[in-house]
Structure 1
């Protein structure tokens, strides 16, 4: 009898995402995402995999250029090319913009990775709330 040992892989962190309910009017913020780090090549595939299918294929992502670590100009995510843009405007330093052609644009509040859980939950609830 041959026994093969598989290395124990740690589980992936849960996707910490809260989306606002769809409504009749556009929203300034469509929800909140609390990534585990500012490493976009690691965090983005998990985010995109957890989005609603109705949002379609996200082809363009814009993040604050001073907040996130260096990332390539494009990435292969879920067998699709995603273009990454790094904005330097300070108007929305804690947001990520997701665009799917002919489907729409969604802006998510990015809760900083080191935020204490109670504060992060409050921010996420507020961003996904009716009155954001």
Structure 2
């Protein structure tokens, strides 16, 4: 009998995401995401794959237009279309807004990709702390 050895599949980097616990009160920030680049086409599929199933299918994502590289009007993620929008307001330069019809809206702090781990950890922890 012959056994074919196959090289191991490349592993995806660990998703750097922290989500706030679900509570009764709306929050200004629902969590923090620390992507590895500002290439939304490369980063968004991994983010969406790591979200809780309870959030449903994300159909729209809005990012800061001056921060991210080229953002097409939509992209196919896991055989479903996600509309992409660019916001040009300076009010939330480091956030991504995710929408799922009938399920809700989630605003995530985006930690800049070039942030050191020592600086990123406190930012991500602060984003998920209960706010009273």
- State the TM-score, normalized to the length of structure 2: 0.93
Aligned to 1:24: 24
Structure 2 spans left out of the alignment, 5+ residues:
none
Structure 1: which 4+ aligned runs deviate by more than 4 Å? Answer: 1-9
Structure 1 spans left out of the alignment, 5+ residues:
none
- State the TM-score, normalized to the length of structure 1: 0.93
Aligned to 1:75: 75
Post-superposition offset of 1:13: 1.1
- Report if the CA contact (8 A) 2:71-2:85 is conserved: no
Between the aligned partners of 2:8 and 2:68, the Cα distance in structure 1 is: 30
SS at match of 2:75: strand
Between the aligned partners of 1:48 and 1:115, the Cα distance in structure 2 is: 22
Between the aligned partners of 1:28 and 1:127, the Cα distance in structure 2 is: 9
| Number of aligned residue pairs | 132
Post-superposition offset of 1:6: 4.2
SS at match of 2:86: strand
Post-superposition offset of 1:107: 0.1
